[in-house]
Amino acid sequence: MTREQLVDQIFTKQSYLCVGLDTDIAKIPPHLQSHPEAVFTFNKAIIDATRDYCVSYKINTAFYEAMGLKGWEAMEKTVHYIGDRHFKIADAKRGDIGNTSTQYAKAFLETLPFDAITVAPYMGEDSVKPFLAFKDKWAIVLGLTSNKGAEDFELQQAGAGKLYEKVLQTVSAWGNPDNLMFVVGATQANAFTNIRKLTPHHFYLVPGIGAQGGSLKDISAIAMIKDCGLLVNASRAIIYAASDEHFADAARQAALQYQQEMKGYLL
């Protein structure tokens, strides 16, 4: 998906919501847990319920890889079911030496029809650039994350600035705003003004809204640009909005509430 197509979806739907399919079989409604395709059945219901209110889905691959072949098959069915009208993110956080990154990129951006993959930049340019070599595909590089461990490295001083600032400035030169995004956690609201100055035209994937306590209002006010420039992810607050037979209806209502709030913030 191109940037223009993504932006068109955002303003058509008046939403920059990304629904995180972090599907844990132990947390889905009990009546589905014994289903032979429990994860895909749950995902399908969530997608059907929320697709009108979001522009993106993010599949956290760990929840699927943990189940072995069965989980991988559920992930593959899910990403195909989502279709081409939503921006599909593989939250896999890959990043390795060049030839290995190339294979990771092929796996998620070629063999599987994801539009983007999250990438860890610690090993440097040759570990990131292979993900930028695919037409109309995106690398979403970890910038400043929402977890407590961000203090261990990302927020440490590195020369004249913080390490995350060096990452943003350096990585932004490896790609462009049409194929490169950054992960910036919603719990890091105080840093967004500076981050937007460092990367004024890039999209951000923003986790940490909802269950983790980030403020959609604050992030939207600080970081939104003319073509939005934000994909705000909500996972547990939507997909686990209810745990009974009405879970899909509850997910729909939760996604609708996000969409209605986002509609008021779009420039």
Separation between Cα atoms, residue 109 and residue 52, nearest integer Å = 24
The active-site residue out of 93, 129, 162, 197 is 93
Q: What is the per-residue DSSP string for 102-153? A: HHHHHIIIIIS--SEEEE--TT-HHHHGGGG-STT-EEEEEEE-SSGGGGTT
User: Which of the 8 DSSP states describes residue 59?
Assistant: E
* DSSP 3-state of 245: coil
Please say if 88 is a catalytic residue: no
Separation between Cα atoms, residue 111 and residue 76, nearest integer Å = 10
Cα torsion at 37, 40, 42, 44 (round to 10°)? Answer: -130
CA end-to-end span of the chain, whole Å?
Answer: 22
Identify which of 57, 183, 62, 49 has the alpha carbon closest to the alpha carbon of residue 119.
183
Measured CA to CA in angstroms, residue 144 lies from 24, 82, 152, 176, 186 at distances of 25, 28, 12, 18, 9
Return the half-sphere exposure (C-beta side, CA atoms, 13 A cut-off) of residue 136. 11
Identify which of 124, 119, 122 has the alpha carbon closest to the alpha carbon of residue 98.
124
Q: Write out the catalytic residue numbers.
A: 93
